[in-house]
Each structure stands twice: as C-alpha cells, then as structure tokens.
Chains A and B, each alone.
Chain A
Amino acid sequence: MNAMAPVGAPSLPTAVDYRVYHDTQIFAAEQRNIFKGRTWCYLGLEAEIPNAGDFRATHLGETPVVLVRGQEGKLHAWVNRCAHKGATVCRSLRGNQADGAFVCVYHQWAYDSEGTLVGVPFRRGMKGVGGYEKDFDLASHSLEKLRVESYKGMVFGTFSADIESLDDFLGPVMRKYIDRVFQRPIKVLGYSRQYMAGNWKLYSENSRDSYHGGLLHLFYPTFGIYRQSQDSAGELAEQGFHNVFTVSKPKGDIDYGSFGDEANREMQGSAKLQDERLLQFRPEIEDDVGLHIQSLFPSVVLQQIQNTLATRQIVTHGVDKTELVWTYFGYADDDEETTRHRLRNLNLVGPSGLISMEDGEAVELCQQGTVGAEGKHSFIEMGGDDVRGYYAPMGMDENAVRGFWKGYLSLMGDALAVSAEASA
C-alpha cells in the first residue's frame, strides 16, 4: 500500500501500532502468550554449567529462572520462587551446589537440582505442637519446573507442555546456522550486561533490521572500510520470527586499506585506523562468512562478527526496561594468542562495540519518540510488504522485521485488539 496506516488500524507486519512498546497490558499478554506460551526461550549455554551442580541464574521473559546441571549431568530449569512464600531461592548469579540442595533462606525449604522439594524444617512441629498435616506431600510443593532442551549447547526452556520439540521449533534453516557457530566445543570468555530504557521488541526489530547497518553504525564508513561487493543473504524460518543474516568476507586478500575504492562518496571516510588488528579476520569456519547475526525468537541473538562469538539474551524487565546479557565465547581449543585476538575483535561488539553501541541508543530513541503515540503506526515496507524466506543481497530491506511481526502477531492473537479496546 505504501501509505501510512490510518490511526487506530490494527497492527500488521508492515505497520505496527506504537502502543505495543508502551502498554503494560500488552506486556503482560506477551509474558503469557509468548514467553510462557508456545515458544522455546534461550536460558544459557551448556558450557557455562559444565559440571554436576553448576547453576546459572537466568530469565525467561521477566521471570527469574535458574538453570542447573543435575548430579547425573542432566539439565534442569525452574522458576526461582520458593513454593512456600514466593521468596527468591537462589540468590547468586552462578555457582555450584555440590549436594544439589538449593535452600530458601527464609524458612529453609530445601530443593534438589531438579527443583523438587526435599526438606522442610519442623515438618512435624516440635513436641507435638505445630508442623504440617500428616499428608503433607513434599513433591507437590516443588519449584515450578520448565521443560528443558538443548541444541548444540544452546539451552532453551519452555512452560508449554505441548509445544513441538526444540529442534522443530528452530527448524532446519536455523539449525544449520547454529551448527556453523557450534562446529566445535566452546569456552565462555565472559559477560557484559546492557540495560536499555526501551521495549524488548525494539531491540528484536533492531537485530533483524539489515537496513540500518551501514547508516546507524558509521564506524566502517568513517574509516573508509565499507565495501559493497560482499555477498550477503538473509534467511527466515517458516514462522517468520527467526532469522539469520550472513555477510561473506571480501573476496581475495583482506586489505582494508583498499575498501575505500568501492565505497560510494558518502561512505568514503577520511580517517585512518591506527591499529588494524582490531578488524583482522581469521576465517575459522569453512565458508568465509565474516558476519552471522541470527535472531531466535523470542529471546536470543547468536552472532559471529569477525572472530567474535556471542549470544545476546534479551531479558524483559518492563515495557521500557530491557536487559541484554552478552555471553562471549571462543573455541575450547583456542590458544592464548587466539583468545587475545578475539578480545581485540570484541571492541567491535557489545555495549561499547564500535559497530554495535548505537543499537542501545536507537532503541531508546524509538521508545522516547513513541510516547503518547498510541494508535499511530510504524512504516515497515523497505524492500516490499511481504515476508520472504530468503532475501539476497540483504541490507536494503526490512524483510526480517516483517517476519518478526508476522510471528509475533500470530502468537498474540486477539490480545492486541483487546488492549486497544480497553484503553479506547
């Protein structure tokens, strides 16, 4: 249609009511329909909890969850909320509980690594006074347990009893790209956490938006290292809401100094990088892809940019509070020099990333700009108004953003309309 949607019109993948970024009812419906609904949410990496008893505090949407490696090596996840009074049970970000006993400090209710209640103090009272009834059943007062599945070391959880397997949820296209990054065992290099005063969907759109790359992130053009001749492609999963972008490294030798020759005028920077090691790329997967950004709905981005490898977990703390947890990793067989190279490359990404820091600002600008704009719509028709499974070259389109909204709207169903009516 290529015109702005009329005020108050229902959201479409090409035109989304700005209300979705601000409405607390919609946020609550998202927690029910999406995060606790028929999706698999990323919880962490197996490499973070290699040993029996290792745990890591994480989130599913806004819900605090603990991911644990059980005594037999199995993965478990449970809501971090005591079945007694709702207190937070596990108070550390990570650690090891060798005996598998997670004890709530309030009244010392004790749970095993699976989240099953195994002990309650004064269960029978004292000297015949107090305590619980004889039929008090420990197991039925356990922590709320999630289904947990792992693909190539990426661990996901779901509250849904009837959702398809994780493999099917990801689908063959997404699995193929996950395989590429997790081609061999990994080791975690560390974390950073970025807290944005913006809605989680603004970040989800951002990570799927190939259009902004060379326009918002001016690092490459400023240093005259933007090159248009790189092969690129975008692929979507069947549902529309997972996507992946890949950009191949320039053909021939990587001579960043020559990049300016191909840049158009606006992209021709005059600054020169003093230390080009920052950008050095050492292909280590047999396909020459230098950039791989994969957004797995609803809560994680998997990336390889040059030799940086990371997951970015999206934690939804509120309509305008989104935390991005970056987990950086390398391969388990990296030597010290390779690790140092990755650390140098890491300057490109993360909250201080020379080609990524702007995303935090873009999210906040959209949040601030859409205040009071309920009923008005965004315009998402770059490169068409449809959702295609494959788009190449990518970069001049918003295909994957439309894919996100297609999947999102399908999961939300009537919840958006109900919210619009309630506030009308």
Chain B
Amino acid sequence: MSLVEPVLQGLVDSLNAAYGLCLDDDRLEEWPEFFVDDCLYQVIARENVDNGLPAAVMYCDSKGMLVDRVVALRRANVFPEHFSRHLISRAVLTGIDGDTVSAEASYALLQTRNDGETRIYNAGKYVDRLLIKDGVAKLVSRMCVYDTHRIATLLATPI
C-alpha cells in the first residue's frame, strides 16, 4: 500500500534526508534527537526478519540507549576510521493512524576507509513508525533491515 499524502510525504522525506546527513556529517550526538524518548531502534539482518527471528545487531529500546551507543562509539569502541554516506530513497507511506505514520524507504550505506576506496557497506530498508507533532516527524521506531548480511569487519556507526 502506498498512500498519497503530500504533506506527510514531505515530512517523512525531510526527516530521512536530515537523518542521513546527520550521520554522514559525523554529528552523532544529534542523532538520538530524531527519535521520541520511548523509541525502538534496531539493525537486523533480513535473513532474521524473513525467518521470524528477532535477534538484531543493535537493539535500543530507549533514547538513553541511543545516547549510550554514541558515547561508547566516541570514547570506548575501536573501529576503522571511515566516512559514511547514506543514499536514501523517497519514502513509501504504508499507513496512517491518527498522528502516527508508517513508512518504508530503501537505503544504501557507502563506506570509505583510510585506503580511500568507497565500498557498498550496507544495503537495506528502513521500516519506520513516525509521530507527527507540530509539523515535525520523529521516529517512534526504526528497523534497519539489512540485505548485506555479511558485515565487513564490524558495525560501529548507526545506520
């Protein structure tokens, strides 16, 4: 199902564009602000979703946990230096329930490490529920369902 709602469409697409750039510009501390406080963020292999299995490589069910991820990444975790680049498709609105919108969008996450080569690091789709309040969309839940089930080295920066 794809709903034609130009105003909502614009809000969701704007959120996605800003979300991708926020991560790509390494403004990670701002990233939790795309979510409501009582949120759920997951990065999960498509092979798990397709088989009804719940295990995710990132599972944060509060905004605090998103903040913890960022603090850990900045201060504790060791990973290859890299740039991220999100390419995110126009969203498809799949449902509207009061002030909550369901939407999906495809993403390709490119990664460039110190060797200078840009690789397709992770491809998948966002499966989202968003709360629309005062003309702003915030994520209630975002499930990053990735096709690239072979994660190169490790996954540190959120998708």
Query: Measuring CB to CB, which residues of chain A are less than 8 angstroms from any residue of chain B?
Result: 93-94, 188-197, 216-219, 221-223, 269, 271, 273-275, 277-278, 323, 328, 339-340, 343-344, 346-347, 350-352, 354, 357-362, 364
Measured between beta carbons, the chain A residues less than 8 angstroms from B44 are 190
Q: How far is the CB of B152 from chain A (nearest CB, A)?
A: 6
A371 CB, nearest partner CB in chain B, Å = 13
- Complex Cα–Cα for A339 and B48 (A): 15
Q: Which residues of B contact A197 (CB under 8 A)?
A: 152-153
Contact B76 A352 (CB under 8 A): no
CB distance from A153 to the nearest CB of B (A): 17
Contacts of B76 in A (CB 8 A): 217-219, 221-223, 354
B55 touches A343 (CB 8 A): yes
Q: Contact at A343–B78, with CB atoms within 8 Å?
A: no
Residues of chain A lying within 8 A (CB to CB) of residue B64: 274-275
- Interface positions, chain B 40-92, Cβ under 8 Å from A, are 43-45, 47-48, 51, 53-65, 67-69, 71-72, 75-80
State whether the Cβ of B155 lies closer than 8 Å to any Cβ in chain A. Answer: yes
B59, A344: Cβ atoms closer than 8 Å = yes
If A188-B53, A216-B78, A343-B56 touch, whether A354 touches B153 (CB-CB below 8 Å) is no
Q: Is A351's CB under 8 angstroms from B155's CB?
A: yes
Known contacts A191-B55, A192-B55: A271-B156 contact under CB 8 Å: no
Is there contact, CB below 8 Å, between A351 and B154? yes
The number of chain B residues touching the other chain, given as a range, is 35 or more
Q: Which B residues touch A189, using CB under 8 A?
A: 53-55
A347-B80 in contact (CB<8A): no
B71 touches A271 (CB 8 A): yes
Min distance, Cβ B63 to any Cβ of chain A, angstroms: 8
Inter-subunit contact A195/B53 (CB<8 Å): no
Whose C-beta in chain B lies nearest to the C-beta of A308? B55
Residue of A nearest to B152 (CB): A195
The answer on a CB contact under 8 Å between A193 and B59 is: no
Q: Are A195 and B54 in contact, with the CB atoms below 8 A?
A: no
Q: Contacts of A328 on B, CB cut-off 8 Å? A: 55
A359 to B59, CA, bound (A): 20
A344 proximity list for chain B (CB < 8 A): 59, 61, 65
Does B149 interact with chain A (Cβ within 8 Å)?
yes
A358 near B78 (CB under 8 angstroms)? yes
User: How far does the Cβ of B123 sit from chain A's closest Cβ, in whole Å?
Assistant: 15
CB distance A274 to B48 under 8 Å? no
Residue numbers in B under 8 Å from A273 (CB-CB): 68
Q: In terms of DSSP, what is the predominant structure of the interface of chain A?
A: mixed
Chain A residues in 8 Å Cβ range of B58:
347, 352
Q: Kindly list chain A residues whose C-beta atoms are within 8 Å of the C-beta of B60.
A: 347
Asked if B53 and A351 sit within 8 Å, CB to CB, the answer is: no
Shortest beta-carbon distance, B43 to chain A, in Å?
Answer: 7
Query: In this assembly, does B150 line the interface, its C-beta being within 8 Å of a C-beta of chain A?
Result: yes
Contact (A358, B79) CB under 8 Å given A190-B53, A343-B59, A346-B59: yes
A340 to B56 CA separation, bound complex (whole angstroms) = 11
Least distance between A339 CB and chain B CB atoms (Å): 6
The answer to whether B48 touches A354 (Cβ under 8 A) is no
Which residues of the other chain, A, contact B77 by a CB distance below 8 angstroms?
A: 218-219, 354, 357-358
Report the separation of the CA atoms of residues A87 and B57 in the bound assembly, to the nearest whole angstrom. Answer: 33
Given contacts A191-B45, A218-B75, A352-B156, contact A274 B68 (CB under 8 A): yes
Q: Which one of A221, A274, A277, A351 lies within 8 Å of B57 (CB-CB)?
A: A351
Asked if residues A93 and B75 are in contact (CB atoms below 8 Å), the reply is no
Given A216-B78, A218-B75, A352-B43: A360 and B154 within 8 A (CB)?
yes
Q: Out of B51, B67, B152, which one reaches A274, CB within 8 Å?
A: B67
Contact A191 B78 (CB under 8 A): no
Distance of A352 Cα from B71 Cα, bound (Å): 14
B151 at the interface (CB under 8 A from A): yes
Q: Given the complex of chains A and B, what is the CA–CA distance between A364 and B79 in angstroms?
A: 10
Whether the Cβ atoms of A222 and B53 lie closer than 8 Å is no
Given A275-B62, A352-B154, verify A193-B149 contact (CB < 8 Å).
Answer: yes
Per a CB cutoff under 8 Å, which of A222, A274, A362 touches B65? A274
Could you jot down 15 A-B contacts, CB within 8 Å?
A94-B51, A190-B55, A191-B48, A193-B150, A195-B150, A197-B152, A219-B72, A274-B64, A274-B65, A274-B68, A347-B69, A354-B69, A354-B77, A361-B79, A364-B153
Residues of A within 8 A of B152 (CB): 195, 197
